Structure 1
Amino acid sequence: MTIRLLLRFALALLLCAASGLVFAATPKAFTATYRVLRDGSPMGEATVSLKPLDNGQWEYSKHVRGTSGLAAMLGANLDEVSHFRWKGDVPEAISYDYRLDAAIKTKQRHVTVDWGKHRVTVDEGKGATTYPSQPGMVERNTTALAIGLALRDGQKKLALPVAVKQDVETQRFQATGREKIIVPAGSFDTVRVDRTDADRGFSAWYAPERYPLPVKLSQKDGGDLTMELVSFR
C-alpha cells in the first residue's frame, strides 16, 4: 500500500510539472541598489536586501541615504527592516521597524505581530496601538516584494492586507499594461502596476521574469519620489 501511495504521489508531481502547475520557489537572497530622485532631481541612493535568518524567518531591509540637495544638507537617512515568514509566496509579517533621521526631524515606528494571539502592536513612542491581525498580512516595506512575486506567479490583480498605523488596510493593485523602461541597470520590457483603491500616485514597473522587485517605482504620497534600479545581485 505504501509503495502504491508513493507511486501515485510521484505521478501527481510529474503531471503537475507537465501541465506547468508547479509551485514557484521563494526568491533567493539578494541585494539591489537604486538611485532615488525627488521631483526628477537626484536625492540619494537606496540599498534593498533579502536574506534568510537562522530561526526560519527572513529579513527584508531598505536603507536610503541622502547624497544630494536638501537631503544631503539635512543628513537625511531612512532605515526600514522587516522580519517575516513565507506563507506560500506571501512574506507574512512578523515585525517591522521604521526610522527616519534628519537634522530637523526624527521619526520611528515599531510593528510586531503576535500570531498566537492574532494581534498587531504598533508603537511610535507615544503609546502602543493594537488591532487584530489577518492571515497573509504584509506591511509597507514588504509590499513591493509581495507584488513582484504575485506578478511572477501570473496574477494581474492583487488585494493585499497591509498592516498600517491603526488597522489592517486592504490595498488593491492592478497590472495596467506593458512599457519599455530605461533605468541605470539597463532597458527592460516591464509590467506596469498601479494602486487602484486610493489616489496616492503609486506606480511600479516590474520585470517579473527577472527580478522580484520593481526596476522603477514612483510614489507621489509625501512628495514626487522615484526609485530606479542600478544593480541587482
Structure 2
Amino acid sequence: MAWLLLAGPAFTAAAQPQHALPESFEATYVLSMGPLSLAEMKRKLYKNEDGHYVFESYSKPIGYARWFTDSTLLEKTEWVYHEQHLRPLKYSYDRQSSDKERHVKLTFDWDKMRVTNTINNDPWSMDVPQGTLDKLLYHLAVMYDLERGDESLNYQVADGGTLKTYTFHKLAEETIETPLGRFKTVKLERPGSRDTILWCAKELNYLPVRIMQEEDGRKLVLKLKSIKGLPADTPNTTASIKP
C-alpha cells in the first residue's frame, strides 16, 4: 500500500515507498483474569494534521474492577517512516485517577540522537542509538516486521529512563478461536519478569488477537473484542462482542 500521496502527475506509484502497515485502524480489547473482566483497551492508528502517524492506547476499568479503581491510562506515540523503519517523534503517558496522577513525555531529537524524558514536569535527557522506539510504538513494530517477513524481532526501547532490549521469540504457528472467528496466528514470546505471549493474526496485518501475561502465578489475558479498518479473510471480524 502506498503511503504518500502523489505530488503531481510526473510521479508514479512505483516511485513511492511501500510499507506494510495499514494507514488507519481501530481495535478494542477486553482484559480479564480468570472469569473476571477487568478493563477495556482501545487502540487506534491514524494520521494527524501534520501528516504524522499517531498510535494511541486508552484503557479504563470495567465490570467488577470499577469498584476498586477509577484509574484510566492514555498512551500516545507520534511517528513517521524513516528508511523503511518506524521512527518515534513524541510519546506521552497519562495515568489519572481520583487519588493519583502520573504524566510522562518523551521527545526524540534525531539530529542530536537524544531523547528528552519529562516526568511530572521534571525533564532530563539521554543518548539513544538509531532505531530506538518508545514503549508503545514497539507494538506496531512487531506487526510491521512480521508483515515484511523479518525474523529478527529485537527492539531497543526507551523505557523508564533507560534503554531496554525487547526480544520476541517465535514459538509456533497456531489457528486459534476468538470471539471474532478463527485466525491463523504466529505465537510469540517475550520472556522477562512478566512473561508475555502474543498471538498475531496473519489476516489482520499481524495484529495481536490475544495477549497473555503471567507474573507471580497470575495470568492476565487481553482478547480482541472488535476491529475496524483491517483486512480479514473472515466476515466474522467485522463483528463485536460484549465483555
Is 1:76 aligned to residue 71 of structure 2? yes
- Name 1:122's counterpart in structure 2: 117
Using the TM superposition, give the Cα deviation of residue 106 of structure 1 relative to its aligned residue in structure 2, in angstroms. Answer: 2.1
1:44-193 → structure 2 map (5 Å cutoff): 44-125=39-120, 127-193=122-188
What is the TM-score when the length of structure 1 is the normalising length? 0.81
Decide whether the 8 Å contact of 1:43 with 1:72 is kept in 2.
no
Decide whether the 8 Å contact of 1:134 with 1:168 is kept in 2.
no
Instruction: In structure 2, list runs of 5 or more residues that go unmatched.
Output: 1-11, 229-243
Q: Distance in 1 between the 2:203 and 2:85 partners? A: 17
Using the TM superposition, give the Cα deviation of residue 126 of structure 1 relative to its aligned residue in structure 2, in angstroms. Answer: 6.3
Q: Distance in 1 between the 2:114 and 2:38 partners? A: 37
- Name 2:214's counterpart in structure 1: 220
Deviates more, 1:107-116 or 1:213-222: 213-222
In structure 2, relative to structure 1, the CA distance for the partners of 1:122 and 1:101 (3 Å cut) is same
Q: Distance in 1 between the 2:92 and 2:208 partners? A: 22
- Name 1:36's counterpart in structure 2: 31
* Secondary structure class of the residue paired with 1:220: strand
* Secondary structure class of the residue paired with 1:157: coil
Q: Which runs of 4+ in 1 moved over 6 A?
A: none
Among candidates 201, 206, 210, match of residue 204 of structure 2: 210
The CA RMSD measured in Å over matched residues stands at 2.4
Q: Distance in 1 between the 2:66 and 2:215 partners? A: 17
Q: Distance in 1 between the 2:77 and 2:67 partners? A: 25
- Name 1:7's counterpart in structure 2: none
Using the TM superposition, give the Cα deviation of residue 56 of structure 1 relative to its aligned residue in structure 2, in angstroms. Answer: 2.9
In structure 2, relative to structure 1, the CA distance for the partners of 1:39 and 1:115 (3 Å cut) is farther
Using the TM superposition, give the Cα deviation of residue 173 of structure 1 relative to its aligned residue in structure 2, in angstroms. Answer: 1.0
Instruction: In structure 1, list runs of 5 or more residues that go unmatched.
Output: 1-9, 14-21
The one-letter amino acid paired with 1:118 is M
* Secondary structure class of the residue paired with 2:129: coil
Q: Distance in 2 between the 1:220 and 1:180 partners? A: 22
The one-letter amino acid paired with 2:71 is A
The one-letter amino acid paired with 2:119 is E
In structure 2, relative to structure 1, the CA distance for the partners of 1:167 and 1:64 (3 Å cut) is same
Decide whether the 8 Å contact of 2:107 with 2:115 is kept in 1.
yes
Decide whether the 8 Å contact of 1:46 with 1:64 is kept in 2.
yes
Q: Distance in 2 between the 1:227 and 1:130 partners? A: 33
Using the TM superposition, give the Cα deviation of residue 210 of structure 1 relative to its aligned residue in structure 2, in angstroms. Answer: 2.2
Identity of aligned residues (%): 23
* Secondary structure class of the residue paired with 2:153: strand
Decide whether the 8 Å contact of 1:207 with 1:214 is kept in 2.
yes
Higher Cα Rg, which structure: 1
